[in-house]
Amino acid sequence: MRKLTMDELGRKSVADFKLANKKPLVVVMDNIRSMHNVGSVFRTSDAFLIAGICLGGYTPQPPHRDIQKTALGATESVDWLYYEQTAEAVLALKEQGYKVYAIEQTEGRSLEKFSQSLPVKNEASLAFVFGNEVEGVSEEVLALCDGVIEIPQYGMKHSLNISVAAAIVLWEMVR
């Protein structure tokens, strides 16, 4: 077994990425503190050809060295918008026909049950809100969402880093 070279991987250029048909998924980040988390979510969104990202509240915005450090150029390929209030982002997405789901620990559906209920050829436009590293998704934003999805966890710790949670949810939606 050998590792593939960069040429063999067939990665898209930024121009090719911009022209590609994207998955009808949007990530919303609600008051994320860590620039590294923001960069990581950009990178994951690029990997899965996600339509875009909404940064809300005090979530750091590109360009910034610490975001670039983990994004590895994904801030150039993935479209993004900033909203002073995350609620504004959610309302704008809903006006565009998106169903918006918070990723949070509430009485919502588990991720596996949610993804199993989607049509095989899911063309629905979905947005997923990921919350602050300590406080989670704000109550104001939760109230605006169409539903809540929880990532099942079985160990002693009952939270995941936001970048890990985003990767899990996005993979589940595109697989």
| Average pLDDT taken over every residue of the chain | 93
Q: Where are the domains of the chain?
A: 20-148+159-174
pLDDT band at 51 (very low <50, low <70, confident <90, very high): very high
pLDDT higher than 80, residue 122? no
- What DSSP string describes the chain? --PPPHHHHTPPPHHHHHHSPPEEEEEEEES---HHHHHHHHHHHHHTTEEEEEEETT---SS-HHHHHHHTTHHHHS-EEEESSHHHHHHHHHHTT-EEEEESSSSSEEHHHHHHTS-TT----EEEEE-BTTTBS-HHHHHHSSEEEE----SS-----HHHHHHHHHHHHH-
CATH number of 20-148+159-174: 3.40.1280.10
Q: Report the predicted TM-score, pTM, of the whole model to 2 decimal places.
A: 0.94
Confidence class of residue 157 from pLDDT cuts 50, 70 and 90?
Answer: confident
- Does the pLDDT at position 116 exceed 80? no
